[in-house]
Amino acid sequence: MWGGRFAGGPSPLLDAINRSIGTDFRLWPHDVRLSKAWALALGEAGVLTREESDALQQGLDRVAQRIADGAQPVATDEDIHTMIDRLLHEEAGTVASKLHTGRSRNDQVATASRLWTIDACHRVDAAIAELQQSLLMQAETLTDAVLPAYTHLQRAQPVSGTHWLLAHFWPLSRDRTRFANAERGTSVMPLGSGAIAGSAFPVSRVLLKESLGFHAISANSIDATGDRDFVAETLFACAMTAAHCSRLAEDMILYGTSEFGFVKFGDGFSTGSSMMPQKRNPDVFELARGSGARVLGDLVSILGTIKGLPSGYSKDLQDDKRALFNAVDLLLLVLPSMAGAIAELRFEKARMRAACSSAMMATDLADYLVKKGATFREAHGAVGSLVRQAEESGIELDKLPVEAFTAAHALFGTDAREALGVDASLAARNIDGGTGPDAVQRQLTQARASLAPV
Ligand code: ARG
């Protein structure tokens, strides 16, 4: 493809370090598509005759068919673009040498990568929606469940089971918005930029954009050939999604321990031990948690690459695809596995409720005093002293004698201990976004609506 300028052949080491077909082979449908659009545009511009343009487009269709039928790279195929060029010569003969008129692999690879990424954003979006569906289905079964919510991993306040699971639903909604934005940013067409200065042939970029379905045309050929913002943005969306999967997984791993005992893992997504017959391990959640680190590595890798480069294309950019494909592949494995593992969880509602010890309603007790006229500061002090007394005498807060309450604050009445009820605590929080039963019903409606097809 570029041998004319060189007297000697390439070192085998150059070949080894330079060959990217192992990674970029999957770009072939997009490369064929953009090449057909290019052949059409060259014909429309009068650069090629109608017959030449048609021959190239038909040849490219046969190339696509051969690859779909299993055609494999040969040793001289540096990347998918050179492989398709070779196959096109085999299929269409010498006219194949006219396809590369006015274009470069620089605008070609940027265009093919963007087409692949647009498709990937849709696939990941659908996989996230599937996980959300699974969470929502389980959340609907937990409207009567309560469990401790933790801050600093210390029991904080009781919340509805639905509320807890939906706390993992909304971050995924934001991830979907991030993928939609990444897709929008990706949908800018570099084709026509040539190697760096723009094509010298009068092809219609509008025609190209329309036939390839891009949203916009790049404004600057130097920028367009070196721009990998779309890779970084997509990888950020991937990394954020992976982090959310990791956090969800960690909740399940933790709450599935014998010590917590809030959830039980199903057979389809847990493993046993080769030695310990009693074991049931949440491998899917652990692998999902671990994947977060790998996807983060991919994001850091593209940012590091971009950071070191001057303007225009440099070969460093070839590795953008390794990072991007790895992250997307991983998510397309993690998200459906998580959806499956979530769907088969069983929740131990009695254990969840039993873990809501009365000290967790200390805030409600302070609120009780506030409603009777005390300041919150004063109430906090009084309730704090009761918590200390209970702790020192080794009993639950709601088991302290009534006299202890009235001694702690004059505004405590005989009904004080009722403020320590779990359900009362939830019922007090029907504020929008709160864990009260009415608020949670409204939240469920909102979640269902957000998943409904638009
Ligand atoms: N395989 C290359 C890549 O993925 C294609 C672009 C090659 N461009 C070049 N100037 N050598 O980046």
Question: In angstroms, rounded to a whole number, what is the distance separating the alpha carbons of residues 426 and 81?
Answer: 61
Residue found by looking up tokens 């692998």 in the block: 287
- Helices and strands, number each (H, E), in the chain: 19, 6
Question: Are 192 and 298 within one domain?
Answer: yes
Per-residue pLDDT band at 6 (split at 50, 70, 90): confident
What is the atom index within ligand 1 of the atom nearest the CA of 195? Answer: 10
Instruction: State the distance from the centre of ligand 1 to the C-alpha of 278, rounded, in angstroms.
Output: 54
Helix (H, G, I), strand (E, B) or coil at 445: helix
Question: In angstroms, rounded to a whole number, what is the distance separating the alpha carbons of residues 263 and 252?
Answer: 7
Over the stretch 184-207, which tens digit does the pLDDT of each residue have?
999 999 999 999 999 999 999 999
197 occurs within a structural domain: yes
DSSP states of 283-308 as a string? HHHHHHHHHHHHHHHHHHHHHHHHHT
Question: Is residue 159's pLDDT more than 80?
Answer: yes
Q: Per the confidence metrics, is the pTM higher than 0.80? A: yes
ipTM: 0.97
Question: Is residue 10's pLDDT more than 90?
Answer: no
Torsion of the alpha carbons at 46, 48, 49 and 53, rounded to the nearest 10: -120
Per-residue pLDDT band at 417 (split at 50, 70, 90): confident
Tell how far CA 183 is from the center of its chain: 13
Question: In angstroms, rounded to a whole number, what is the distance separating the alpha carbons of residues 66 and 60?
Answer: 10
Question: Is residue 1's pLDDT more than 80?
Answer: no
- The whole-number average pLDDT for the span 169-174 is 98
What is the atom index within ligand 1 of the atom nearest the CA of 315? Answer: 12
Question: Are 338 and 286 within one domain?
Answer: yes
Range of the domain at 363: 358-451
Question: Are 159 and 280 within one domain?
Answer: yes
What is the atom index within ligand 1 of the atom nearest the CA of 313? Answer: 10
Question: Are 305 and 366 within one domain?
Answer: no
Question: Are 412 and 363 within one domain?
Answer: yes
Question: Are 288 and 427 within one domain?
Answer: no
Question: Are 45 and 181 within one domain?
Answer: no
Cα dist. 97→89, 91, 92, 93, 177 in Å? 7, 12, 9, 8, 43
Show the tokens assigned to 121.
Answer: 């954003």
Helix (H, G, I), strand (E, B) or coil at 262: coil
Which of 317, 338, 354 is where one domain is finished?
354
pLDDT of residue 17: 94
**Cβ neighbours for 198, distance < 8 A, ≥ 6 positions apart:** 192, 221
Helix (H, G, I), strand (E, B) or coil at 217: strand
Question: In angstroms, rounded to a whole number, what is the distance separating the alpha carbons of residues 163 and 152?
Answer: 19
* 410, 417 Cβ separation under 8 angstroms: no
To the query of whether residue 204 is one of the catalytic residues in this protein, the response is no
Instruction: State the distance from the centre of ligand 1 to the C-alpha of 283, rounded, in angstroms.
Output: 39
Question: Are 157 and 80 within one domain?
Answer: no
Q: What is the mean pLDDT of the chain?
A: 96
Which of 334, 354, 374 is where one domain is finished?
354
1 occurs within a structural domain: no
Over the stretch 292-326, which tens digit does the pLDDT of each residue have?
999 999 999 999 999 999 999 999 999 999 999 99
182 occurs within a structural domain: yes
Question: Are 79 and 185 within one domain?
Answer: no
Instruction: State the distance from the centre of ligand 1 to the C-alpha of 25, rounded, in angstroms.
Output: 13
Tell how far CA 236 is from the center of its chain: 8
What is the atom index within ligand 1 of the atom nearest the CA of 20? Answer: 1
Question: Are 379 and 364 within one domain?
Answer: yes
Element (H, E) at 18: helix 12-18
* Residue whose CA lies nearest to ligand 1 atom number 2: 318
223 occurs within a structural domain: yes
317 occurs within a structural domain: yes
Instruction: State the distance from the centre of ligand 1 to the C-alpha of 332, rounded, in angstroms.
Output: 27
122 occurs within a structural domain: yes
Question: Are 287 and 413 within one domain?
Answer: no
* 142, 160 Cβ separation under 8 angstroms: yes
| CATH, residue 372 | 1.10.40.30
Instruction: State the distance from the centre of ligand 1 to the C-alpha of 104, rounded, in angstroms.
Output: 9
- The whole-number average pLDDT for the span 71-80 is 96
Number of folded domains that form the chain = 3
Q: Which of 320, 318, 124 is nearest to 229 (CA)?
A: 320
* Residue whose CA lies nearest to ligand 1 atom number 4: 318
Show the tokens assigned to 436.
Answer: 């009260």
Question: Is residue 3's pLDDT more than 80?
Answer: no
295 occurs within a structural domain: yes
Over the stretch 211-242, which tens digit does the pLDDT of each residue have?
999 999 999 999 999 999 999 999 999 999 99
Per-residue pLDDT band at 58 (split at 50, 70, 90): very high
* Residue whose CA lies nearest to ligand 1 atom number 3: 318
To the query of whether residue 152 is one of the catalytic residues in this protein, the response is yes
Instruction: State the distance from the centre of ligand 1 to the C-alpha of 318, rounded, in angstroms.
Output: 6
Question: Is residue 380's pLDDT more than 90?
Answer: yes
Which of 304, 323, 354 is where one domain is finished?
354
Question: In angstroms, rounded to a whole number, what is the distance separating the alpha carbons of residues 438 and 430?
Answer: 6
**Mind spelling out the 3-state secondary structure of 176-200?**
HHHHHHHHHHHCEECCCCCCCCCCC
| CATH, residue 176 | 1.20.200.10
Mutate to test the pocket of ligand 1, among 106, 117, 319 (most ligand atoms within 8 A of CB): 106
Show the tokens assigned to 269.
Answer: 């997504």
**Looking at 273, 311, 314, 393, which residue is catalytic?**
273
Residues with CB under 6 A from ligand 1: 20, 24, 79, 105-106, 109, 313, 315, 317-318
* 24, 325 Cβ separation under 8 angstroms: no
Which parts of 269-418 fold into alpha helices (H)?
Answer: 283-307, 320-343, 349-354, 362-371, 376-392, 402-408
Mutate to test the pocket of ligand 1, among 231, 318, 324 (most ligand atoms within 8 A of CB): 318
Question: In angstroms, rounded to a whole number, what is the distance separating the alpha carbons of residues 211 and 96?
Answer: 21
Torsion of the alpha carbons at 315, 316, 321 and 327, rounded to the nearest 10: 180
Question: Are 181 and 308 within one domain?
Answer: yes
| CATH, residue 14 | 1.10.275.10
Per-residue pLDDT band at 34 (split at 50, 70, 90): very high
What is the atom index within ligand 1 of the atom nearest the CA of 317? Answer: 12
208 occurs within a structural domain: no
Q: Left if phi > 0, otherwise alpha if psi is -120 to 50, otherwise beta: which for 261?
A: left
Show the tokens assigned to 129.
Answer: 């929606």
